[in-house]
C-alpha cells in the first residue's frame, strides 16, 4: 500500500524539474503495482535530519523481510557505467561528464537510515540484521551503457523496479532471515513519516507591473472545514482526496474531480497538503500546520 505520497515540489531549475518528473514516474509505477498489497508499505520522498546531517531517499519500500531504497535518476540521453564502477553521462553522443555513483549514494543513504532507526528504537543490533537493499531506477527514455561484465542487478529502467522489488522479497524470505511483523512495519513507516523534514521554499512569483490605480484584492478563501466540504458540481458531501500528479477532490456521488488550492489559515499564503494516513494537513513554508480534510 502507499503509505506516503511525494511532498509538494517548488523549483525553477530545469534539472530539479527533470529529477522531480523521474520521481513522479517511479511513484506512479509503485502505486500501480503495490497500492493493493497490504504486506508492503511505500513511502515516497523521505528526508531525515540528525545532528546537523541529513539524508534524502526518493522511495522507500518496507516489506516483510526488510527495506528497499529506490534512487530515481533522470536520464534523457545515455548513461554509462564503466568496468571500474565510474558513472558517466553522455550528451548528444559527443560530450560526456562524470557523475557521482548513484549506487554509492544509495548505500550511504541506507547506512544513514539504518543507524537513525536503530538509535531511535534503541536497537542498533536488531537493525543491523535487517536487510537494506538498494535499487537505481533510470528514467524510461534514458539509455544504459553497461560495463563489459554485463548489466548490474541493482540498476534498471524505472518500469522494471517493481519486478526487482518482488525478486528481493522472494530472495529475503529464505529461512533464517529477519522477518518484520505487520505491527513493526507500521511502526517504522509511521516514525519515518512523522520525522520527514522536506526542504521547502517559497514559490517563485514573478513581480507584477505597477497598477495605475489601486485594485481591490479579494482575500484568499479560508481553509475549509473538513466536515463541510461539498462537491461544486452536485453539492454532495461524499468526497475523498485522491492523488494523480497532485492532490484533488473526487466526488463519489457524481464521479467528478475538483482541484485543491489550499492556503494557510494563519498567514494566508499558498500552502501544500501533507498526507498522514487518512488525514490531510495544510502546511505553508512558514511552518504553520492545520487539519484540512479527513478521508472517510
Q: Which residue has the cell 522494471?
A: 160
- pLDDT for 213 equals 55
Starting at the earlier edge strand, list the strands of the sheet with 239-243: 239-243, 247-251, 257-259
CB 283 within 8 A of CB 272: yes
Q: Quote the pLDDT of residue 248.
A: 84
Whole-number Å distance between alpha carbons of 175 and 294? 41
pLDDT of residue 112: 93
pLDDT tens, position by position, 239-278: 898 877 678 888 999 888 888 888 888 888 888 888 888 8
pLDDT band at 94 (very low <50, low <70, confident <90, very high): confident
Identify the bridge partners of residue 49 per DSSP, sorted by sequence position. 54
Q: Is the pLDDT of residue 77 over 90?
A: no
Domain positions in the chain: 2-195, 239-294
- pLDDT, residue 144, reads 94
Per the document, the length of the chain is 296
Q: How confident is the model at residue 223 (pLDDT cuts 50, 70, 90)?
A: very low
pLDDT at 24 over 80: yes
Q: How far is CA 23 from CA 143, 198, 262, 263, in A?
A: 17, 15, 23, 25
pLDDT recorded at residue 210: 54
For the stretch 125-175, pLDDT in tens is 889 999 999 999 999 889 999 999 999 999 999 999 999 999 999 999 998
The pLDDT of residue 44: 96
Q: What is the mean pLDDT of residues 13-21?
A: 86
For residue 259, what are the β-bridge partners?
A: 248
Q: What is the structure's pLDDT at 245?
A: 67
> Alpha carbon of 105 to those of 87, 155, 208: distances in Å?
12, 13, 42
Closest CA to 56 of 14, 113, 9: 113
Amino acid at each position: 500500500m502507499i503509505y506516503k505520497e511525494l511532498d509538494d515540489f517548488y523549483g525553477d531549475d530545469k534539472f530539479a524539474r527533470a529529477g522531480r518528473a523521474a520521481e513522479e514516474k517511479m511513484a506512479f509505477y509503485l502505486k500501480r503495482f503495490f497500492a493493493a498489497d497490504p504486506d508492503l508499505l511505500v513511502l515516497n520522498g523521505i528526508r531525515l535530519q540528525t545532528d546537523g546531517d541529513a539524508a534524502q531517499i526518493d522511495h522507500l519500500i518496507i516489506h516483510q523481510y526488510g527495506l528497499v531504497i529506490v534512487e530515481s535518476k533522470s536520464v534523457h540521453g545515455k548513461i554509462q557505467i564503466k568496468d571500474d564502477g565510474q558513472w558517466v553521462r553522455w550528451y548528444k553522443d559527443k560530450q560526456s561528464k562524470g557523475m557521482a555513483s548513484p549506487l554509492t549514494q544509495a548505500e550511504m543513504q541506507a547506512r544513514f537510515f539504518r543507524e537513525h532507526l536503530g538509535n531511535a528504537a534503541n536497537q542498533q543490533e536488531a537493525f543491523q540484521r535487517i536487510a537494506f537493499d538498494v535499487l537505481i531506477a533510470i528514467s524510461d527514455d534514458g539509455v544504459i551503457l553497461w560495463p563489459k561484465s554485463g548489466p548490474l542487478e541493482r540498476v534498471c529502467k524505472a518500469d522494471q523496479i517493481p519486478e526487482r522489488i518482488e525478486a528481493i522479497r522472494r530472495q529475503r524470505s529464505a529461512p533464517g532471515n529477519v522477518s518484520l511483523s505487520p505491527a513493526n512495519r507500521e511502526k517504522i513507516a509511521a516514525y519515518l513519516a512523522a520525522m520527514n523534514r522536506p526542504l521547502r521554499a517559497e514559490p517563485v512569483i514573478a513581480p507584477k507591473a505597477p497598477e495605475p490605480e489601486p485594485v481591490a484584492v479579494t482575500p484568499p478563501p479560508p481553509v475549509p472545514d473538513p466536515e463541510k466540504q461539498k462537491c461544486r458540481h452536485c453539492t454532495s458531501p461524499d468526497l475523498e482526496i485522491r492523488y494523480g500528479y497532485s492532490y484533488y477532490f473526487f466526488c463519489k456521488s457524481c464521479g467528478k474531480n475538483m482541484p485543491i488550492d489550499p492556503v494557510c489559515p494563519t498567514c494566508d499564503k499558498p500552502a501544500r497538503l501533507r498526507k498522514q494516513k487518512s488525514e490531510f494537513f495544510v502546511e505553508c513554508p512558514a511552518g504553520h500546520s492545520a487539519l484540512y480534510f479527513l478521508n472517510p
